[in-house]
Amino acid sequence: MRLWSLHPKYLDPRGLVALWREALLAKAVLCGEARGYLHHPQLERFKAHAHPRLAINSYLAAVHDEATRRGYAFDRSKVGPVRTVRAIPVGSGQLAYEWRHLQRKLAGRNPAVLALWRGVAVPACHPLFRRRPGPVASWERALDGALG
């Protein structure tokens, strides 16, 4: 499961569809409708939020907005109620780590999308998140043996 802290605009079609599915699974877990990923580290940020269900709905809404912008037909009814919620802080190290991770994925599966974002030095966050100085998240698995 990968719930990107990066803005979904950077994802290729395959990545955006995967994010939608994984965020829906995360929502099911947070709502007690699925147990398979109950302790998945990607859910820690949502579980720590004062309103985890509203936070995941907000996350899904932004993914849905990006999909709609691209002309995809994701089912909006699966998002649930969307309210203004407190942003989740994300460390600049985490965003840099995810950016490198995404670039590696795109280099292999969609070089054209990678080329679109070649000049981006500091990528935007997903709208639910707010950048702050900080390291890679403690729950992140090392990519090629290195965090940071």
Whole-structure pTM value: 0.92
- For 58-109, what is each residue's pLDDT tens digit? 999 999 999 999 999 999 999 988 899 999 999 999 999 999 999 999 999 9
Q: Taking each helix axis from N to C terminus, what angle separates 92-109 and 13-30, rounded to the nearest 10 degrees? A: 130
Does the structure show a pLDDT above 90 at 38? no
Q: Domain-by-domain residue ranges, the chain?
A: 8-132
Q: Tell me the pLDDT band of 143, cut-offs 50, 70 and 90.
A: low
